[in-house]
Structure 1
Amino acid sequence: MSSSDDSEQTKLEVQLEISNFQRDFPNCPYKMIEKIGQGTFSSVYKAVDTQHQHTSDCGEECNIVAVKRIYPTSSPTRILTELSILHSLSGHPNIAPLLNAIRHDDQVIAVLPYYPHANFKHYFRELSNNQTKSYLRSLLSALKHVHHKGYIHRDVKPSNFIFSPEKEAGVLIDFGLAQTEADKRDDSKFKQPKPIKLEKRRPFYIVDDKRPSIRANRAGTRGFRAPETRAIDIWSVGVILLSILTGQFPFFQSTDDVEAMLEISHIFGKQKMKQLACTLRKEIGLRHIVDKMSENPVDEEALDLLEKLLELDPSKRITASEALHHTYLQQ
């Protein structure tokens, strides 16, 4: 089958999907035009608002919106959390505001502005130094607001940050995995346990181990997740900047967390990863990797910011607010 046949088949499948959606959601005030995105828990469509006109952040009135159809298989708690967070974050220029939310039986849609934008993989190698700064300022400004409100996005990646290189502005989208930041536990209430002496043994694996595997309940897209859960959004910004500076996307191409750790240790070094595990104290050195992979000289201040964004120790990693005041973004 040729690529044109595949494309035609995809169009037919999308048309059928839209028809089924209109059938399942009668009297929906939004007429779907085309499918523009899909994730694990939802699909997103470019649509016409047949009843109202919404004013976009750029001040232009239009009746084109983005309709996010949340799958019925999503838990009610997840849906409520996403809509509540979107509503709470409305008003920031770098975060897509929630315009409307409608439920019909088990069908739920969230309506947001439609933002014309380019695909990251088509422009990230062509970004000028100033455009890179604008990208980071917009993204970090959005995350500063998210974190100030007490939330974690948990899935920061290029496809969830709609950026226009021409306008040098972007908006953060898709809060399907976002959650409220957990309160810090008061460690003073817990006593320090006594050390336990273990018999020294060589590492081994059990042959035909029948025990069930343990999987962590972690959010985020592989390659953009931090090695820990704290400051995960900032780590993801660092991974994006790493792609921009080196011209390689995705930079981390692991299929699981084990491969991700191997890739990370390849850059930072086995010894530094061991030091982190033992003492949580280390220094990061990415300059050699970036200089080797980049076709053009890299701004020294950009490298310094990159190191701070990709600090392995989350307690030492730069915050969104601090990053916005970094010398590189102030130039």
Structure 2
Amino acid sequence: MKKQQVQAKAKAKTTEKQTKLNQNSNDRYYPDLLIDEDAYLRNNYKVVRELGRGGYGVVYKGYAYHNGQEDKAKKYAIKVNFSTVSPELIFAEIGFLKLVQGKENLPQLVNLFLTNQKIYIVTEYFSFDPFITFFSTFNMQEIKDYLRELLKALLILKQNGIYHRDVKPGNFLYNPKLKKGILIDYGLSEIDKSFVNNMVESGGNTQELRQRKQLYEDIMKTIAQIGHNKIGTESFMPLESILHYQEQSYEVDIWAVGVIFLQFLTRKYNLFSNVRMVHKPAVSKNLFYVNFILELTSLFGAEAITKICNKFGYNLNLPSVVAKTPINWRSVIHVEGFDDKAEDLLTQLLELDPQKRIKVEDALQHPFFQQ
């Protein structure tokens, strides 16, 4: 009886610690994801606050913890997924983190641990400012610095056969003082099969290369199980993704860079309403985002939108009242320094046809960045 009382007190104490820390974050809205402080302490981490959350999980800031002492010189970002996230998605994300280990502008995996059937992903902590705190005040040079860092991250991914598929400000952590950024969250990322095929054909039989090839193949098998071409945040996805066009690749990420560029230039955080008006045309097997189409039409004109939708297999009948021709960017952009070079880069990033959209290598070499 006495032993049971001691156990009950210990359990109550643990719950109290969880609830106390829980009240300092938004976790009280997610009862299946209370912060288990002991789980972190047992693995030598001390959680101090929540950094952010998305559709798949929550990320916390933590310090190294040894012998009852915090080591604040060693900072980490610790991600724990919601219970609704499939093991396949978690495995794929861990695989991507291993593939980009040691690469600049990308998160660095430090540790993995399993507690109470939850996988905790530990990466190096990166100090950043939220996008909303600076996007409306950046001058053109600061915008260039930001975009260059983002494009560098995408180039490194491409050099490793990866396209991200969920590029947005919330997934690109940027430090304005250091002029450095890292691209995080690989839950929707995919692998370029041609890249892996070239790896195999190029030969080489070292143990490291064999292990890397195997990791690529394991990730591709996992993605095949959960499905290809998953849509990220709709307001940063191009038409080929929204309309579920089969041929999607690195160009999906380039479009998102264009949307972010336009956010800077218009000083507008929400460019698209992101409201799904679901409709099923007779020729379509997929969901049709009517509201998004109309918003794009206001920028690119009915003729261009109709043409690209036809290419993707959609017969589009737009209202006669919508604009036929594209908008003049100079009429909505008044940021000092928005010259011909900036306009040309914006136009190439936001090219509706993915086959004509600028490549990441060419974007980094664009005259806009050479000024």
Question: TM-score normalized by structure 1?
Answer: 0.77
Q: Spell out, residue by residue over 1:148-204, the C-alpha distance to the aligned partner (whole angstroms, 9 max, x if none).
A: 2111111100011011122211111111221223559xxxxxxxxxxxxxxxxxxxx
Offset, 1:299: 2.4
Alpha-carbon deviation of 1:20?
A: 4.0
Q: What fraction of aligned residue pairs are identical, expressed as a percent?
A: 31
The alpha carbon displacement at 1:25 in A equals 6.0
Tell me: CA distance 1:286–1:87, structure 2 relative to 1, closer, same or farther (3 Å).
farther
Please tell me the residue identity of whatever aligns with 2:58: S
d(CA) in 1 for partners of 2:23 and 2:253? 33
Partner of 1:307: 347
1:44 corresponding residue in structure 2: 59
Q: 1:18-64: CA deviations, max 9, x gaps?
A: 86423566713211101111111110001111159xxxxxxxx9211
For structure 2, list consecutive stretches of 5 or more residues without a partner in the other structure: 1-20, 196-227, 242-247, 277-288, 313-324
For 2:339 and 2:170, locate their aligned partners in 1 and report how far apart those are by CA, in whole Å: 25
**C-alpha distance in 2 between matches for 1:31 and 1:127:** 35
SS state of the match for residue 163, structure 1?
strand
CA separation of 1:73/1:233 partners in 2, compared to 1, >3 Å: closer, same or farther?
A: same
CA contact (8 A) 1:127 1:165 kept: no
Change (3 A) 1:293 1:137: closer
Report what 2:230 is aligned to. Answer: 218
CA RMSD in angstroms comes to 2.8
Aligned length: 281
Aligned counterparts, 1:164-175, within 5 A: 164-175=175-186
AA at the equivalent of 1:89: V
Residue 146 of structure 1 pairs with residue 161 of structure 2: no
1:329 corresponding residue in structure 2: 369
Report the secondary structure of 1:31's partner residue.
strand
Distance in 2 of aligned mates of 1:325 and 1:239? 19
2: CA distance, partners of 1:148 / 1:117: 25
Whole-Å separation in 2 of the counterparts to 1:32 and 1:136:
32
Which residue does 1:264 correspond to in 2?
296
- TM-aligned CA distance change 1:62 to 1:10, over 3 Å: same
Q: Hey, what's the Cα distance between the residues in 2 that align with 1:260 and 1:182? A: 30
Question: Could you say which residue in structure 2 is the equivalent of 1:275?
Answer: 307
Q: Which moved more, 1:247-256 or 1:43-52?
A: 43-52
Q: 2:171 aligns with which of 160, 177, 181?
A: 160
**Which consecutive unaligned segments of at least 5 residues does structure 1 have?**
1-7, 53-60, 185-215
Q: Do the aligned partners of 1:246 and 1:290 also contact (CA within 8 Å) in 2? A: no
Is the contact between residue 239 and residue 310 of structure 1 (CA under 8 Å) also seen in structure 2? yes
Q: 1:194-273 alignment to 2 at 5 Å? A: 218-229=230-241, 230=248, 231-256=251-276, 257-273=289-305
Q: Does 1:181 align with 2:192?
A: yes
Q: What is the match of residue 11 of structure 1?
A: 24
Q: Which amino acid aligns with 1:238?
A: G
Task: Name the CA shift for 1:91/1:24 in 2 (closer, same or farther; >3 Å).
Answer: closer
CA contact (8 A) 1:245 1:290 kept: no
2:343 is aligned with what amino acid? L
Q: Identify which of 328, 336, 346 aligns with 1:288.
A: 328
The alignment's TM-score, normalised by the length of structure 2, stands at 0.69
Distance 2:272 2:353 in 1: 19
